[in-house]
Structure 1
Amino acid sequence: MDINFIYQEYQEDLRRFIIKRVANREDMEDVLQEVLIKIQNNLATIKDEGKVAAWIRRIARNQIIDFYRSRRATERLDDNIPDVADGAENHNKEISICIRNIIGNLPAKYQEAIKLTTYQGLSQQQVAQRLGLSTSGAKSRVQRSRAMIKKMLLRCCQLEFDRMGNIIEYRQKGKTKYC
């Protein structure tokens, strides 16, 4: 079995698998190239040719995870960006404003922790250093912040998500001080 056979046999399935999980075509092509490189570099390790499809899918899944991890570590969000995600629809903009209002109403220590991780892109270890906390203390503070945001958001909004975590349906339950 060689890389050309695998490419011809699995290329379209791989493209469909990746594009369902990666938002834009350029990123999908980048992930696909990385998957093909990993397949080529590890092709000699495959022992059971009957499990090639599952092996390829596992490589693709791991590469998609690596793709999102690398983006999370390098992307910085400015406090003035109203969108939740690139290409966000109007309801995402409304939710984004609501979330910013919720964050603004958190106790100061939780507000600071969530802003440092979410908007400034700091790791929880960096947050710990900046705030003079242990790493587990910073992690706990960020998790509590997220839990508070989720609780407040679910009080005022009904949300439905797709399997990628994107909001596909949004309804306000009523007027609140956040939304």
Structure 2
Amino acid sequence: MRWVFLACLLVLAGCATVPRHTTNACAMFDENDGFFNNWRDATKKAEARWGVPAPILLATIYTESGFRSNARPPRKKLLGFIPWSRPSTAYGYSQALDGTWAHYMAETGRFTASRTRFADAVDFAGWFHRKSYDTNRIALNDPYNLYLAYHSGQQGYARQSYVGNAEALNGAQRFTKIAYRYADQLRTCPN
């Protein structure tokens, strides 16, 4: 019985590793093509459900966490007296904030969703980008502005809080480049 438990732990640990090929969509899908952990299928389902192109979904995960399931913002010393606090509650593949994740679960009914499970995180990204279309009329194939809304939040985007924010604007440029790279790659992938 103990060996079965250890074998299960090893299998699960393998599901949470960072892919070797994070800048190559085809290789990444091939690397994560398990029965319980099929990234290609999860991405296609999110694309179909929310209408957000797969390259944008993948670029979201790449930009936010580098495909690390347990990613968190780095700790910082705040106000000189709070030792090494985290600047936000962002967590997981999609770096979803606690409140936004709770809103996603409530609105979609996916109460068992986890920010550390790729299928849930890519679905969340599709949901959020769809909200960007519904709220701010950002086209679902506009990676630059979708990223700015993801980074700033829907209200922040509407207020144009990204204007003059080099981190947001540079991030939007990187996001756009990786989305276009993934789009080119996905056109050549088998399946």
Fold agreement, TM-score > 0.5: no
Query: Larger relative CO (CA 8 A, sep 6+): 1 or 2?
Result: 2
> Which of the two has greater helix per residue?
1
With the length of structure 1 as denominator, give the TM-score of the two structures.
0.30
TM (norm. structure 2) is: 0.29
Bigger Cα Rg: 1
